[in-house]
Structure 1
Amino acid sequence: MTIERILHRVIDDAAVVGELDGVAPLSPFLASSFDLYQARVLGQDIIVAEDVADTDGAEKRLQALAKAVGEPVAAYLRSATPARRKDLMKSRQGFITREGDLYLPQLAIALQANPPSESLRPRGFSPSQQQAFLYCLYGREPLTQEGLREATGMSAAGASRALSSLADMGLVDYTAGGRTGRKRYYFVPDKKEFFRRGRELFGDPVKRILTVSASPLTTASPSSGLSALAMRSDLVAPKRRTVAAGSASAGDLGKSGDDGEEKIDVQVLRYDPLPFSLAGMVDPFTMLATVGEKDERISMALRKALEDCEWYED
């Protein structure tokens, strides 16, 4: 697949690509190492370099080329393994592969200046996308449809759609493999960016709050909100415990009883929190999303509770 076809398919159907000219003369070494192209995408010019030297040290040659031309250069690659794509993204090195994968941080300003129409903006996550997000946040890579199904009990079709939608939003990437070459192995290029963007799209997971009498079922339900935060930090626990339940199980938790009975608040979530709960608490992201109030005391407790989460940013 050519550079122009890839850009047409993925970003801008008006993109044009031609030979690069008008740059300062390159050293014989760099001139013989690369075929250079000029791409015009979303009204912005990008230099694309195909390494033809076929020797070790490609990244160092790219850095030397970028320094010589005085601006970032995107690499045009025959292919890239998931590990290499991940390394390139972490170093913010732009690339396009012949397989159709691309990462172009040079376009960030252009994309902000040309926001997509409302109809193309991704909506908030559906319940299956929320669970797929949590699976990708905590799961061991490579992440697979089978892994999501095993973790959540989701159907094959539902797991496939949920992971594919996260890839379409640019939250995760994948490589194809397996016997037929069609099985997708997903990975998260940048956990902090994944958390930041996912947090914006996740939405409020709480559908409603029920106040019910304490029972074996509610007592066994995972703590959420401030109750979970208190278990993970030095925050004083609220007088009334808060737990979480999925919509399917909320009806089994009972209703308010006599005034003398102990009460528990049940946050009925849009997804089942049990697959990712641990030690009587909802997972850290769900805890963060179910803390309904914020002040300095709670913010400090959140920083303490999430300090070991590599993806967390206040």
Structure 2
Amino acid sequence: MSALPGSAEGTAVTGLDSSPVQPAPVDLPPLPDQARLEAREIIARYPQPRSALLPMLHLVQSYQGYVSPEGVALCAEELGLTKAEVGAVATFYTMYKRRPTGRHLVSVCTNTLCSVLGGQRIMDALSADLGVHHDETAADGSITLEHAECLAACDYAPVVTVDYEFYDQQDVASARELVAALRRGDKPSPTRGAPLTDFRGVSRQLAGFSQYEDPYDMAAAIDAPSSLGPTLAGLRLAEERGEAAPPMPTPGTPARDAQEPRDTVAPSGRTGQTPGQEAADARVAAADTPAEEAGAAGSHPDAPEPAGRRLPDGRAGTDTPAGSEPGTSGQGPGKA
């Protein structure tokens, strides 16, 4: 990897950020007393206090927009940990931000399928429009842009999330329109999931508290409509074709081998083959489906060695003792 540890590029490639927590801006309001009370409420949920660290980090983000030095200190004090221990966790997970975020966090999936379908083009276009790169915030404070290794929604690719709410099957034009609306102060409805709030609001929710003061708003978020078209496409096709998955075995159901003909598990030894070869032949012949037949053939003792298992000269390895090959060091007898 060419990117340096702690750099934005390194974070993008590895998913980890070794950079230190950024000092607090001069205009950052201090954590209120309520934050400490809520931190103690979180701690009371767990039999081991330090298990509360993850939601507590989300809690301080909900107040200050990132995990500030003050937030690290609060977590350390309440949990009896060192600041280094808290910082080690805060710098491991990418959901914990080490510098102030914008009003909204826009994440663009650039992993394999999303990238093939245009995710990288979306990232490049938004980066140009906002004048920022990965993990940077627009000058007006509206958007923090990041690209994600995977948003776990390949059936909706390319995917963009705003404050972890999904906007599916995006393209450059729709993503640009979405970000322009966010910068105007609008909150377009996600494709699925709860209505959009902001980064601090969703951080509060991840800490285990409701981000909605009005119970009607909270109920509306829970009951928000959702589109699951691509995810359910296979199910609909199966119903139309009358297809169904094999039934799951119930407790006490005999293993498949127990129901096979005896000669597939107890070779006769009369064919001139080894018992293993005869049993493997019988398993191939008894396969019910092409997939089972391919699996049985692949595990047959006579199956050809997969590519890459042997050296170019056909040898399976080397008989040279470890450490005695030219160029090795520290693994075998040294030479003067």
Q: Say yes or no: TM over 0.5.
A: no
TM-score normalised to structure 2 length: 0.19
Q: Which one has the largest radius of gyration?
A: 2
Q: Which has the higher strand share?
A: 1
